[in-house]
Amino acid sequence: MARSALFPPGFVWGTATSSYQIEGGHDAGGKGPSIWDAFCTIPGKVNEHADGTIACDHFHRWREDVDLMKKMGLTAYRFSLSWPRILPTGYGKINRSGIQFYSDLIDALLEAEIDPWITLYHWDLPLALQLEKDGWLNPDMASIFADYAEICFEEFGNRVKNWITINEPWVVAMLGYGQGIFAPGRISNAEPYLAGHQLIRAHAFAVERYRKKFQYVQKGRIGITNNCDWREPLNDTAADRAAAQRALEFFLGWFADPVYKGAYPDSMRSRVGERLPYFSDHEIDIIKGSSDFFGLNHYTTMYAAEAGNKLQDSSVYGNGGLSEDQEVNLSLDKEWKLTEMKWAIVPCGCKKLLEWIDARYDHPEIFITENGAAFDDKVLDGHCHDDDRVDFYEKYLQAINAAMENRVKVKGYFAWSFMDNFEWASGYSKRFGMHYVDFNTLKRIPKSSAKWYADVIAHNGLK
Ligand code: PNW
């Protein structure tokens, strides 16, 4: 049943997007190609052979988009910078027209009283770095990334006070270097741990750069965003409780433990062994404590059970890949409703995950930097009544509010997404937006959820 849920004053209400998913303008104004531009050309990788060449054409329609955000009353907007738009080959000469694009967008957001939250890396690596360096497998990437980050702090940091280094290193490592279903399309049971390691180092190097050269004057905050589902023990047994805990450690602990505790989880070290690299003492010094806030993207929940010798096949939505290493079997409850992504809607999983993070990482300030759902939206007489999505958001916000009543420090919430966009390997077939985008005309139509969310923001919560 609907319960009211008010949020504290100053709570951050935003929506989120990412560069490759919305911008288009794939070669406009001197932009270089990214690994997603290349990956999309491989037959069979993306649904209906779609790509981000045009996407939502936000590169040309951003003024209209900022107006729509203003109508919603957003207090914040999270978006990412396209690294190859700023540095066409990943390093070296700056592409001034790329800087100008983001600079104008930032100014328009501030003018609309919307706080920009910038993600420096949301998966669109400059293709040149993949070809020259083998991308995230190369230890040199940490300083190359920090050099790129420094350009962004230098150009935008006078106006931008919220920075996210890397979006979802788990997805980059697992889906990009393990399952091969996201760019760069590598398939391996060892490379995910190597790529993950370099992503953590890159994050820490960029944060070190910000803290040393910018933070004391620009006075912003910087952190990393990780994604994690909740894992509920299938049976109330010691073995399944341990399996669920282990699954969370392999999912979120992999990236959050180094940042908050200075080391990978023991459960990973003992199972992955030498395939999991080590940090040097100096690296631990800069990695530990390298996030000013806990960025969390959360979408769904699965049951976890001890696999024993009955390990199921690994699959992305089954065992999150590399199930051999975790020795966990995942499954769904027949009662759970599914979104178009086949992700189960389980609001209490969100509350439990927030409480798990609060306890494990010593009560960090948490920003939910993504939460949302894909549904089969239709436009009728010019309107899109996405009641399922409104229901989803209402229940998840209630669950978050309940965690906050238990003193979990959630400070902000970003709905994924501001508008329908290029949903990676699913192409344009999955709609997550609060605005409907007609991909033939590129017209945006506010869905019921956009109006509902505007109301939530105006009341600072659910009535
Ligand atoms: C996140 N998984 O991606 C991303 O940050 C967004 O770019 C994306 O559009 C959104 O969630 C919805 O998918 C994920 O397989 C992609 O577990 C895949 C997974 C998780 C997150």
φ, ψ at 158 (rounded to 5°): -70, -25
Where would I find the beta strands (DSSP E) of 203-307? 221-227, 230-233, 294-297, 301-306
Q: Smallest Cα–Cα separation from 167: which of 286, 106, 255?
A: 255
SS3 state at 361? coil
Options 23, 150, 155, 168, the catalytic residue:
168
Return the pLDDT at 37.
Answer: 99
Q: Give, using CA atoms, the residue closest to atom 14 of ligand 1.
A: 171
The strand pair at 366-371 and 230-233 is best described as unpaired
Confidence class for position 319, pLDDT limits 50, 70, 90: very low
Say whether pLDDT at 313 is over 80: no
Of 283, 370, 394, 423, which is the active-site residue?
Answer: 370
> What are the C-alpha distances in Å from 125 to residues 49, 106, 183, 214, 381?
20, 22, 9, 24, 40
Strand pairing class (301-306; 366-371): unpaired
Q: Please give the Cα distance from 372 to 299 (Å, whole number).
A: 6
Judge if the upstream peptide bond of residue 277 is cis by omega within 30 degrees of 0: no
Average pLDDT, the chain: 96
Q: What residues pair up with 338 in beta bridges, in sequence order?
A: 344
Distance CA 369, CA 113 (A): 19
Confidence at 310, pLDDT banded by 50, 70, 90 = confident
Q: Which of 171, 175, 322, 420 to mutate to test the pocket of ligand 1 (most atoms within 8 A of CB)?
A: 171
> How many CB atoms are closer than 10 A to CB 159?
15
What Rg value do the Cα atoms of the chain yield, rounded? 21
Q: Which of 80, 225, 227 to mutate to test the pocket of ligand 1 (most atoms within 8 A of CB)?
A: 227
pTM for this model (two decimals)? 0.97
How far apart are the CA of 416 and the centre of ligand 1, in A? 10
Quote the pLDDT of residue 308. 79
Residues within a 6 A CB radius of ligand 1: 18, 21, 167-168, 171, 227, 297, 316, 370, 416, 423, 432
> Is 370 one of the annotated active-site residues of the chain?
yes
**Separation between Cα atoms, residue 102 and residue 249, nearest integer Å:** 36
| Confidence band, pLDDT 50/70/90 cuts, at residue 315 | low
The maximal CA–CA distance of the chain, rounded, in angstroms, is 62
Residue 214 has pLDDT above 80, yes or no: yes
The whole-number pLDDT of residue 4 equals: 83
- CA distances (Å), 205 to each of 62, 256, 352, 455, in order? 31, 16, 32, 40
Confidence at 324, pLDDT banded by 50, 70, 90: confident
Confidence of residue 2 (pLDDT cuts 50, 70, 90): low
Residue 454 sits in a domain whose CATH number is 3.20.20.80
pLDDT at 281 over 90: yes
For 32, the 3-state DSSP assignment is: coil
On the question of pLDDT at 314 being above 60, the answer is no
Pairing mode of beta strands 76-80, 12-16: parallel
| 45 φ, ψ (degrees, to nearest 5) | -80, -35
CA of 451 to the centre of ligand 1 (A): 24
Extract the tokens encoding 102.
């983001």
What contacts 283, CB < 8 A, 6 or more positions away? Answer: 201, 204
382 Cα–ligand 1 center, Å: 29
From CA 185, how far away is CA 190, in angstroms rounded? 14
Confidence at 318, pLDDT banded by 50, 70, 90 = very low
Å from CA of 237 to ligand 1 middle: 31
Q: What is the pLDDT of residues 38-79, one digit of tens each?
A: 999 999 999 999 999 999 999 999 999 999 999 999 999 999
Alpha carbon separation from 374 to 176, 304, 431 (Å, rounded): 22, 24, 5
Helix (H, G, I), strand (E, B) or coil at 64: helix
- Closest atom of ligand 1 to 167 CA is 5
Could you list the residue range(s) of the whole structural domain that residue 141 is in? 5-462
Contact 406, 350 (CB under 8 A): no
Distance 403 CA to ligand 1 centre (A): 23
Structurally, the chain folds into a number of domains equal to 1
pLDDT tens column, 225-238: 999 999 999 999 99
- Range of lowest pLDDT (3-7, 17-21, 87-91, 127-131): 3-7
Q: What is the pLDDT of residue 3?
A: 67
Plot region of 219 (φ>0 → left; ψ -120 to 50 → alpha; else → beta): left
Kindly report which listed range (1-10, 240-249, 373-382, 435-444) carries the lowest average pLDDT score.
1-10
What value does the mean pLDDT take over residues 105-115?
A: 99
**Cβ-based neighbour number of residue 271 at 10 Å:** 18
Residue 403: closest CA among 343, 460, 457, 349: 349
Distance between CA atoms of 80 and 68, rounded to whole angstroms? 18
No. of helices (H) and no. of strands (E), the chain: 20, 15
Q: What is the pLDDT of residue 317?
A: 47
Q: What is the pLDDT of residues 409-452, one digit of tens each?
A: 999 999 999 999 999 999 999 999 999 999 999 999 999 999 99
The Cα 202–Cα 125 span in angstroms is 13
| β-pair partners for 462 | 5
Q: What percent of the chain has pLDDT over 90?
A: 94
